[in-house]
Amino acid sequence: MKTLAKPIQMISWTESDGRIHPLRFKVEEEGGACRVFRILGLHSTEPDRVAGNKVLKFVCGIVVDGTEKVCELRYDLDSCRWILFKL
C-alpha cells in the first residue's frame, strides 16, 4: 500500500454506542477532479495514536478502476477529520 495522507470527505453512520461505520468517501485528485469510492467491506477497526493524537484506524476494501483494493482510513478524534492514509 502507498502512503497518501490525503484529507477526504466521508459519509458514515454511527451507532448509539459510538461505533462508526464508513460507507463511502470522496477524494480530490490532482487537477481538481473528485472521485467517489464505495466501501465494500470493513476488515478491521482499531484505536491508535499518531503524533500524540487519538485516531481510529479503519482497514477497508474498495474498488479502484475495476480492481478490489485495500485502503487504510483514519479518523482523528480531536479534529473530527478523515484521512485516506494508505491505498
Q: Which residues of 15-33 are buried (b: 16+ CB within 10 A; e: fewer)?
A: eeeeeeebeebebeeeeee
Residue-range definition of the domain harbouring residue 37: 3-86
29 near 35, Cβ under 8 Å? yes
Structural domain total, the chain: 1
Q: Give the pLDDT score at 1.
A: 81
Q: Give the pLDDT score at 23.
A: 97
Q: Give the pLDDT score at 87.
A: 92
pLDDT tens digits in sequence order for the chain, 87 residues long: 899 999 999 999 999 999 999 999 999 988 999 999 999 999 999 999 999 999 999 999 999 999 999 999 999 999 999 999 999
